[in-house]
Amino acid sequence: MSPSSEPALEAAEEVDREDVEIDGLLEAVYRYYGFDFRQYARPSLRRRLWRRAHLEKVTTMSGLQERLLHDRACMEHLLLDLSINVTAMFRDPTFFLAFRRTVVPLLRTYPFIRIWNAGCSTGEETHSLAIVLAEEGLLDRTRIYATDINESVLVRAKEGVFPLEQMRAYTENYLAAGGTRAFSEYYTAGYEGARFDRSLTDGVVFSRHNLASDGSFNEFHAIICRNVMIYFDTKLQDRVHDLFHESLVRFGLLCLGQKESITFTSHADDYKVVDAADRIFRKVR
């Protein structure tokens, strides 16, 4: 072996070693805690794992694995790191306009409505959905199931308290999304933040659910899962699409994020496009 090839070989060995360590860490987390991140997109996952490693002051993935298995608080912190919590009320306002225009008329045909908000995070999207349904006269006959892998964010979602400094931006989103009332009517401002009216979530079931490993738990007239699957690899995306297809009633609605699609999935022919721009599909078989 020439001396010039040694640095390249050492770099390759370092990358291979890191991948092996990450695989072992993810397997250990799955076997010990039951959280399955093994099919999350690797580049994003790697960055978040190293962030946690640096905060825990360990220098290898094996060191982080040891810390995770012996310190439950470390695992709780990692769970927060790996959860997708980028959210806002009425995020992507055009989606909620499309929801009012195309989904609501179809939901009106059901005497009782079940909606699954998968990956609800801290609850901003769930509350936005509840406001739309209330303004359309459907909230009283709707059960929303808001799920997330992270118990901590579910607690915050149940509380319905959001940063007061965000209310101006949220008001702008609400108006752009076709809101018909004064947005301030839905919350009470206080020192701890903006507390939203409890009546919005009286019909909401907040529960933990892992899209990577848990199964179907009901039949739904609509499933909303936006900007979640972009963090999954192709195999896990396929698994989630199988789950959603199984969980939707015939002619149910599937609502995805603007960067997500069913085009290259095994269920591409099982849906009709309702709104291409805002990724709303109707199950036809």
Whether 35 maps to a domain, the answer reads yes
What's the confidence (pLDDT) of residue 86?
64
- The verdict on 66 and 195 lying in the same domain is no
Range(s) of the domain holding residue 271: 93-283
Q: Which of 32, 54, 82 is the last residue of a domain?
A: 82
CA quadruple 59, 61, 65, 66: dihedral sign: negative
Nearest Cα neighbor of 149 from 227, 221, 85 is 85
The pair of structure tokens assigned to 46 is 């790697």
What's the confidence (pLDDT) of residue 6?
61
What's the confidence (pLDDT) of residue 169?
96
- The verdict on 65 and 182 lying in the same domain is no
Task: Please give the model's pTM, rounded to 2 decimal places.
Answer: 0.81
Q: What angle do CA 192, 198, 200 make, to 5 degrees?
A: 120
For the stretch 269-278, pLDDT in tens is 999 999 999 9
List C-alpha distances in Å: 168 to 33, 162, 164, 173, 223.
40, 12, 8, 9, 28
What's the confidence (pLDDT) of residue 154?
94
Q: Do residues 95 and 226 lie in contact, with contact meaning Cβ atoms separated by under 8 Å?
A: yes
Q: Do residues 49 and 23 lie in contact, with contact meaning Cβ atoms separated by under 8 Å?
A: no
Q: Long-range contacts: 1-9, Cβ < 8 Å, 24+?
A: none
What's the confidence (pLDDT) of residue 56?
96
- The verdict on 158 and 57 lying in the same domain is no
Q: Which of 82, 102, 124 is the last residue of a domain?
A: 82
